[in-house]
């Protein structure tokens, strides 16, 4: 159900995403561009997972009921009839449900397990669980999966992820000091070897202030946490930040902001991230609460702008043709175009192929192009683009000097043949000196064409007399060539 536009209080998020389209040298992670349409009013998104019908979203209405909706394209959603869980009718060991996460468990195999945060009538927090075979009918599992500080420590935003065939890791937010102050909310994790039924707390994963967290697995196996956080000096979540890890336990914060609003217009109360239907993009579902309103709205945002992290090779020769290259980053698709530009000089890449959403390969042809440093611009079919300044340098190949008969007898009619090979026409200076620096003769001084040019020295000085026996130094200055070579004269 699509309703009124969100442009009013999501305008700042749009401004941020637009700014990310300007040239930058490899942003750390992609930004999300809002879609500006309300998917649900008075409901807060908690989790979104693939389903047999396409996708299923789980939402809460207040703190007592869990609902679901389905979609085939992640854009148009239909609320499903009935209630998935309700504290008023189910024996859930909780008087309210504040957050939940869903994933496909390995124990029991291929069964959905929902982790939900329940608050008892005594005000204690627990992460509880329920299972389902169809995503609609849920059965509570006995006991609590996790508690903090005897149940009196805050718990929120459970976000599970499968580890191999039987492992599970659950990320969640908790009060690091056990006194339930939002300023102390941070990201923790727990692991399990039985599909999530038995969780062992692993401690803090990231020393940041975080309210809600969502976990995603990148194509190369890295784990990314996306979490809502307040702006500096504020207390309400108005931005989504991220951190990445290669092992799922040690995380490094990524620079920049993935999505933002302002505390004056709305605060973020929910965050769920999954692959988009295009597979190379990510979609974020977020809930927003406007000041003075008790009812949240849910909307989505998409990673539209590609991210360029690196380009190889960093330099090529202008005499080369059809050089393979690799672009690493994110939001990579073979339907993009890659162009290299330096002033009026442009080169369009060919044979673009997506190894994954993190890597593109292609062909660039620098043959005969102007020397210099070229900016790389990657453009998606919809016009979203990223630019990496000075990604590729086209260079002139070094010149080559070859001396034939560099030991010769001029009185017997012999001479030394000096071969100069340059890739671009230019001025060439060949000067002969004695070992103590005395000038003997200038063999060549002037323009020389591209290619190979031969110059001879018959062993005479500039005045026309034969030099004495000994070692002479040939100074060579040419395009991309500067060297000193030895020539031996024997009378």
How far apart, in whole angstroms, are the C-alpha atoms of residue 480 and residue 120?
A: 77
How far apart, in whole angstroms, are the C-alpha atoms of residue 145 and residue 94?
A: 13
Q: What is the pLDDT along the chain (491 residues), one digit of tens a residue?
A: 333 434 444 434 443 333 333 333 334 689 999 987 899 999 999 999 999 889 999 999 888 899 999 999 999 999 999 999 988 766 667 788 999 999 988 777 779 999 999 998 888 899 999 999 999 999 999 999 999 888 888 999 999 999 877 689 999 999 988 778 889 999 999 999 988 999 999 999 998 999 999 999 999 999 999 999 998 888 888 999 999 999 999 999 999 999 998 878 889 998 999 999 999 999 999 999 988 888 899 999 999 999 999 999 999 999 999 999 999 999 999 999 999 999 999 999 999 999 999 999 999 999 999 999 999 999 998 899 999 999 999 999 999 999 998 899 999 999 999 999 999 899 999 999 999 999 999 999 999 999 999 999 999 999 999 999 999 999 999 999 999 999 999 98
Residue 188's DSSP bridge partners are: 172, 204
* pLDDT in the model for residue 4: 40
How far apart, in whole angstroms, are the C-alpha atoms of residue 188 and residue 98?
A: 17
Q: Whats the size of the chain, residue-wise?
A: 491
Q: How far is CA 6 from CA 34, 37, 151, 249, in A?
A: 9, 6, 38, 36
* pLDDT in the model for residue 25: 35
Contact predicate 457/443, CB 8 Å: yes
Report the Cα–Cα distance between both ends of the chain, in Å, rounded. 99
Tokens of 72: 């085939």
Report the run of H or E that residue 85 belongs to, with start and end.
strand 85-86
How far apart, in whole angstroms, are the C-alpha atoms of residue 305 and residue 368?
A: 32
Contact predicate 189/171, CB 8 Å: yes
* pLDDT in the model for residue 90: 64
Task: Name the 3-class secondary structure at 48.
Answer: strand
Strand ranges for 290-438 from DSSP E: 297-302, 307-312, 315-317, 323-330, 337-342, 345-348, 350-356, 359-364, 372-379, 385-395, 400-404, 407-408, 416-422, 426-434
* Domain annotation for the chain: domains and CATH numbers: 7-302 (2.115.10.20), 308-395 (2.60.40.10), 400-489 (2.60.40.4070)
Strand 65-71 to 78-79 pairing: antiparallel
CB crowding 440-455: b at 16 or more within 10 Å, else e: bbebbeeebeeeeeeb
User: Would you say the C-alpha torsion 363, 369, 375, 381 has a positive or negative sign?
Assistant: negative
Contact predicate 16/260, CB 8 Å: yes
Report the run of H or E that residue 226 belongs to, with start and end.
strand 223-230
Residue 16 φ/ψ, nearest 5 degrees:
-65, -45
Q: How far is CA 43 from the centre of its chain?
A: 31
Contact predicate 318/371, CB 8 Å: yes
Cis check: omega of the bond before 15, within 30 degrees of 0 = no
* Burial class, 398, CB count within 10 angstroms (exposed 0-12 / middle 13-18 / buried 19+): middle
Tell me the per-residue pLDDT of 188-222, one tens digit each, with 9 for 90 and over.
999 999 889 999 999 999 989 999 999 999 999 99
């Amino acid at each position: 159900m699509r309703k009124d536009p969100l442009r009013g209080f999501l305008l700042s998020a749009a401004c941020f995403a637009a700014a990310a389209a300007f040239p930058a040298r490899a942003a750390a992670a992609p930004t999300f561009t809002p879609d500006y349409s309300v998917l649900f009013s008075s409901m807060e998104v908690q989790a979104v997972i693939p389903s047999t019908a396409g996708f299923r979203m789980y939402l809460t209405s207040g703190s007592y009921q869990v609902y679901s909706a389905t979609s085939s394209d992640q854009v148009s959603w239909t609320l499903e009839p009935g209630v998935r869980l309700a504290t008023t009718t189910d024996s859930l060991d909780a008087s309210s449900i504040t957050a939940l996460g869903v994933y496909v468990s390995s124990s029991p195999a291929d069964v959905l397990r929902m982790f939900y945060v329940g608050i008892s009538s005594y005000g204690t927090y627990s992460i509880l669980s329920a299972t389902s075979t169809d995503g609609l009918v849920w059965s509570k599992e006995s006991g609590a999966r996790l508690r903090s500080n005897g149940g009196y420590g805050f718990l929120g935003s459970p976000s599970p992820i499968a580890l191999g065939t039987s492992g599970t890791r659950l990320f969640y937010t908790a009060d690091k000091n056990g006194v339930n102050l939002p300023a102390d909310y941070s990201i923790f994790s727990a692991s399990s070897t039985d599909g999530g039924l038995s969780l062992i707390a692993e401690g803090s994963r990231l020393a940041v202030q975080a309210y809600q967290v969502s976990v995603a697995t990148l194509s190369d196996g890295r784990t990314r946490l996306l979490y809502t956080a307040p702006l500096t000096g504020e207390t309400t979540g108005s931005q989504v930040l991220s951190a990445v890890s290669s092992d799922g336990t040690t995380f490094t914060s990524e620079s920049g902001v993935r999505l933002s609003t302002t505390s004056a217009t709305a605060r973020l109360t929910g965050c769920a991230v999954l692959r988009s239907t295009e597979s190379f993009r990510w979609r974020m579902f977020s809930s927003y609460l406007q000041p003075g309103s008790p009812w949240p709205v849910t909307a989505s945002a998409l990673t539209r702008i590609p991210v360029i992290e690196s380009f190889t090779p960093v330099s090529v020769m202008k005499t080369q043709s059809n050089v393979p290259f690799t672009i690493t980053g994110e939001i990579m698709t073979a339907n993009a175009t890659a162009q290299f530009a330096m002033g009026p000089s442009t080169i369009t890449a060919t044979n673009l192929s997506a190894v994954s959403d993190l890597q593109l390969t292609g062909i660039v042809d620098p043959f005969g192009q102007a020397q210099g440093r070229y900016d790389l611009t990657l453009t998606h079919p919809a016009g979203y683009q990223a630019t990496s300044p000075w990604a590729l340098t086209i260079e002139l190949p070094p010149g080559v000097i070859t001396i034939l008969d560099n030991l010769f007898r001029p009185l017997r009619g012999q001479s030394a043949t000096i071969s100069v090979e340059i890739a671009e026409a230019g001025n060439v200076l060949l000067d002969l000196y004695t070992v103590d620096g005395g000038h003997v003769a200038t063999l060549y001084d002037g323009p020389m064409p591209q290619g190979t040019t031969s110059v001879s020295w018959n062993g005479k000085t500039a005045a026309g007399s034969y030099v004495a026996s000994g070692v002479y130094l040939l100074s060579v200055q040419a395009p991309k060539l500067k060297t000193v070579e030895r020539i031996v004269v024997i009378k």
